[in-house]
Amino acid sequence: MVTYEFNRESRLLTPGQFQAVFSKPLRFGSSHITVLVTQNSDNKSRLGLAIAKKRVKLAVQRNRIKRQIRESFRLNQHNLPAIDIVVMVKSGTDQLDNKEINRQLEKIWRKIIQRHKK
């Protein structure tokens, strides 16, 4: 059964888990979003967010972007391979509307799935 939950197990929690992704990632990206990916030993994908204040000034906008990313991940996680994901955004992402953020994320999820099918 496919569960659409986003719980503690679905998240990167410790600095060590983030460090593992930053150390030797595969990069996927769009015009405003960069996604770093590494294999993990669990059998499900996990998400970490690194939305810098420097890139998105207003907390309200950072939180909106994080909500969009989490929701998109939640709906797509059952298609993704067992990987750790860190999502970062570039300057100007706060100018995008939710639909555009989702569109860019969908494209990235598709690229990741394609890449890991091989």
Mean pLDDT of the residues in the chain: 94
Q: How far apart are CA 90 and CA 112, in angstroms?
A: 19
Place of tokens 């405003």: 32
pTM: 0.93
Mean pLDDT of 61-68: 97
Instruction: Report the topology of domain 8-116.
Output: Ribosomal Protein S5; domain 2 (3.30.230)
Query: pLDDT tens for residues 83-96?
Result: 999 999 999 999 99
At 118 the pLDDT is: 59
Mean pLDDT of 38-46: 90
- Could you give the angle at which helices 59-76 and 98-117 cross, rounded to 10 degrees? 40
At 41 the pLDDT is: 87
Tokens linked to 23: 């150390």
At 116 the pLDDT is: 84
Mean pLDDT of 33-42: 93
Burial class (CB in 10 A: 0-12, 13-18, 19+), 41: exposed
